[in-house]
Amino acid sequence: MKVLFCGDIVGRSGRDAVLQRIPMLRQKLDLDFVFANAENAAGGFGITPAIAREFYEVGIDCLTTGNHVWDQREIIGHIGGDPRLLRPANYPKGTPGKGIGTYTTRKGKPVVVVNVMTRLFMDPLDDPFQALEAAMAQHRLGPSAAAILIDVHGEATSEKQALGHLVDGRASLVVGSHSHVPTADARVMAGGTGYQTDAGMCGDYDSIIGMKKDVATQRFVRKMPGERLTPAEGEGTLCAIYAELDDATGLATRVAPVRLGGKLAETMPA
């Protein structure tokens, strides 16, 4: 099985980078499943039902989120009725939506996606380690789950790595989101789980994590609130993680970064 995860989609530049390239990538890489973190897709803050539909129409099978999931108020009443839109599984009981979804590829294979959010330097949610263990207790690689794919949305690289090692050998792919900067540690871990600490963002890298650089810089310089942060509007880079999974075990045999367009050096799996 071949899967692709697109990092945080930020604003119009990020949406354009994804919408324009996903159909091509599905065909060129012969992808079976595509998921993406879309919590910054609507003007840098949250996601709307209309934007989610655009992503589904070009071939994204599932959308994950994180700490900005509720920034667009209309999503609160929508998320419970959209099985392809996840919020972190470790939100408190009673929060709208769900953090785990089961989907079927075009070849009829069941795929489980889990979305969790870390706690270091983030919101004080329920324990992501317990939430991930609970998810793994419900879903095991085998006939009922040809692949288990996990988006770990968080700030601290150490916490993301710990969650990856926690499920090594039990999940197909663990990939981080939130920092908007791609890390260089794509690999298959000792137990066979594909891993990268952060996929990076889909957005304009002539920016500060996707936002217009002048406004963001002044917040650091002046230490005062100022103009509202808005997404940078230059050409976006699509940053993603590509993984090949063994059909017999569901574990990863290959993990490689994908970067297309914009300011970063391009790379595609050979």
**Positions marked active-site:** 68
Interatomic CA distance for residues 191 and 169, integer angstroms: 4
The two tokens of residue 262 are 């914009």
User: Are 153 and 117 a contacting pair, CB within 8 Å?
Assistant: yes
Q: What is the DSSP pairing of strand 100-104 with strand 147-153? A: unpaired
The secondary structure of 124-172 as a DSSP string is: --S-HHHHHHHHHHH--SBTTBSEEEEEEE-S-HHHHHHHHHHTTTT-S
User: Are 89 and 53 a contacting pair, CB within 8 Å?
Assistant: no
Helix (H, G, I), strand (E, B) or coil at 113: strand
Interatomic CA distance for residues 231 and 68, integer angstroms: 14
Interatomic CA distance for residues 68 and 75, integer angstroms: 11
Interatomic CA distance for residues 3 and 172, integer angstroms: 10
